[in-house]
Amino acid sequence: MSDEEKQFDGEKQLSPFLDIEDVLPILSKISIFAGLSRKQLDTLFRLLEKARYKAGKHVFNEGEQPSHIYIVTSGSVKLVANANQTPLELIVFEEGQCFGETSVIGILPHDATAISVEDTELIVLSRKALLSVFKVDLELFSILILNIAREACRRLHKTDEILMHYVLRK
């Protein structure tokens, strides 16, 4: 089995990106990277890796400690939670969407399992790499953490709206 085939089996075998121009169009669409200068994007780029998962492979499992932030570059990933032994699909992340960031900064175990819906390629930023930015570029680190907090607030607001809808229907 070639390295490419092993990597595509989705066993968290990560590889670096070779050209920033390959990922810049995607990074510019990701809310947690909003407001970054080209120099900051260059710094961040050196920390990014890519991972591939075949359809049906688990990116991470419910209850595991978070280790990475994931950005979908192709394919899709669904989050599935177990509610009283019943799988409940929460959301599907598609190209250009980010997941795992709130778990990484919250340092809480994943509350759902992430499963590739189809063959999927992800941009990956490890928790260790994110924390290393603190030592190298405090401004970049601050912007990333603030952007992650904003994204978490947006998702919480959407969740509140959905919950209110169901409460008022009863």
Per-residue pLDDT of the chain (170 residues; tens, 9 = 90+): 334 433 444 456 677 776 778 778 888 778 888 899 989 998 998 999 999 999 999 999 999 999 999 999 999 999 998 877 778 888 899 988 889 988 888 888 998 999 999 999 999 999 999 999 999 999 999 999 999 999 888 888 777 787 787 788 76
pLDDT value of position 5 = 38
pLDDT value of position 8 = 42
pLDDT value of position 6 = 39
pLDDT value of position 9 = 45
Residue 58 dihedral angles phi and psi, to the nearest 5°: -85, 130
3-169 adopts what CATH topology?
Jelly Rolls (2.60.120)
Q: End-to-end CA distance of the chain, in Å? A: 55
The token pair that represents 125 in the structure block: 């930023």
The token pair that represents 160 in the structure block: 């509140």
Q: Is the pTM above the cut of 0.85?
A: no
Query: Position of tokens 């780029």?
Result: 45
pLDDT value of position 167 = 80
pLDDT value of position 12 = 60
Q: Is the dihedral of CA 112, 113, 115, 120 positive or negative?
A: positive
For the sheet with 86-94, list strands across it.
58-60, 113-116, 76-83, 86-94
